[in-house]
Structure 1
Amino acid sequence: MLNALEVFTTVVVGVMVGVEFSVAFVVNPILNGLPEDSGQLGRAHGGRMLGAVMPVWYITSLALVAAWAVAGWHHRGTGLVVTAGALLIVSVIMSVLLLVPINNRGKTWTPDNRPADWKQQMSRWDRFHYVRVAVIIGAFTLLVASLT
């Protein structure tokens, strides 16, 4: 049973990392290169879509890591799992305090109502997101390392 939890958790966290990595290094650069208002409209749509899914994914990942840590408490590698859980907590705190407020504004913007500094706000979101991606990559790496 523990092995199934380890594999399932690693896959869930790994796919989340892949999505967030893709947003940072593929999707947003593509949107930033689109002409006129297309990129801003794409970011607003992405903010609505992923803004609805990602909180559930982050909390589910954290809950799975916590369950893994409890279930495998006396097994080798548990310290790595606990540290991965701590990094996921950091990513959730970062999200709530830094990224979500910007996303909540950005997902409502249209070319008619966006603020003059919308590009600077999106750039700030991107910088925070790069840090969050690094944090969750660290968590994923620790989970994988705990399996060996």
Structure 2
Amino acid sequence: MLDALEAFTVVVVGLMVGVEFSVAFVINRILDALPEDSGQLGRSHGGRMLGAVMPVWYIASLALVAVWAVAGWHHPGAGLVVTAGGLLVLSVVMSVLLLVPINDRGRTWTPENRPADWKEQMNRWERYHYVRVAVIVAAFALLAAALA
């Protein structure tokens, strides 16, 4: 049963990492290349869509890692799992304190109501997001190593 939990957790966290990596290095580059207001409209829509899904995914990932850490406490790799859990906690804290406030504003913007500094706010969100991606990639790598 623990083997199934470990594999399921790695898949769930890995898919989350893939989505966030794609947002950082693919989707945002595509949106930035769109003409006129299309990129900003795309970011607003993405903020609404992913803003609804990702909190559940982050919390579910953290819960799965916590269950793995408890269930596998006396198994090899438990320290890696606990460290990965700590990194996922850090990613949730970063999200709540740094990224969500910007996302909450940005998802309501249209070309007519966006603030003058909207690009600077999006650039700040992207910088925070890069750090968060690095944190969750590290957590994923630790989980994968714990399987070995």
TM-score by length of 1: 1.00
Flag structure 1 segments of 5+ consecutive residues without an equivalent.
none
1:69 aligns with 2:60: no
1:56 aligns with 2:56: yes
Distance 1:118 1:22 in 2: 22
Q: Cα distance, 1:142 vs. partner?
A: 0.1
1:30 paired residue number: 30
2:118 paired residue number: 118
Distance 2:59 2:147 in 1: 22
Q: Secondary structure at the match of 2:113?
A: coil
Q: Cα distance, 1:35 vs. partner?
A: 0.5
1:17 paired residue number: 17
Aligned-partner residue type, residue 25 of structure 2: F
Distance 2:130 2:76 in 1: 31
Distance 2:96 2:28 in 1: 20
1:90 aligns with 2:83: no
CA deviation string 1:32-88 (max 9, x = no partner): 111100000000000000000000000000000000000000000000000000000
Q: Cα distance, 1:18 vs. partner?
A: 0.1
Distance 1:30 1:130 in 2: 16
Distance 1:97 1:33 in 2: 29
1:43 aligns with 2:46: no
Please list every run of at least 4 consecutive aligned residues from structure 1 whose deviation after the TM superposition is greater than 4 angstroms: none
Aligned-partner residue type, residue 138 of structure 2: G
TM-score by length of 2: 1.00
Q: Secondary structure at the match of 1:39?
A: helix
Give the number of aligned pairs.
148
1:140 paired residue number: 140
Q: What percentage of aligned pairs have identical amino acids? A: 80
Q: Cα distance, 1:11 vs. partner?
A: 0.1
Distance 1:2 1:70 in 2: 10
